[in-house]
Amino acid sequence: MGKIKKGVNCSVIGCNERALHSLSIDKVQEAIRTIGLKLNIKTSRRVYLCEKHYKEIKKQLKRMKKVEKWKHGLPFT
C-alpha cells in the first residue's frame, strides 16, 4: 500500500472524499467493475480510494478470491 499525497480525491466517479489508500489498478479493476463503480482515471495506473470505497473493494476482493478457490477446487479434499 503506497502512501499518497495530501489532497488527492477518491478515484470513484461521484465521490469527493479524500483518498486514504492507493492501489494498483490491475488488482482492483475487476472488483470495482463487479461492484458497479466507475473510476475517473486517465493516465495513472493507480487507483486512489477513500475509506468507504476501500473497504467496499476489499470486501469484494475477498469474495472473489473465495469464488476463485471454489472454481479451481481445493487439492486434497
User: Could you tell me the three cell numbers for 62?
Assistant: 475477498
Q: Does 23 bind Zn ion (CB under 5 A)?
A: no
| Window contacting Zn ion (CB under 5 A); options: 1-9, 30-38, 47-55, 65-73 | 47-55
Q: Where does this chain touch Zn ion (CB under 5 A) — which range of 17-25, 33-41, 55-63, 69-77?
A: 17-25
Residues for the chain: how many in total? 77
Q: How far is the CB of 18 from Zn ion (least distance, A)?
A: 9
User: Does residue 30 contact residue 50 with C-beta atoms inside 8 Å?
Assistant: no
Q: Is residue 32 near Zn ion by the rule CB under 5 A?
A: no
What count of other Cβ atoms lies within 10 Å of the Cβ of residue 21?
19
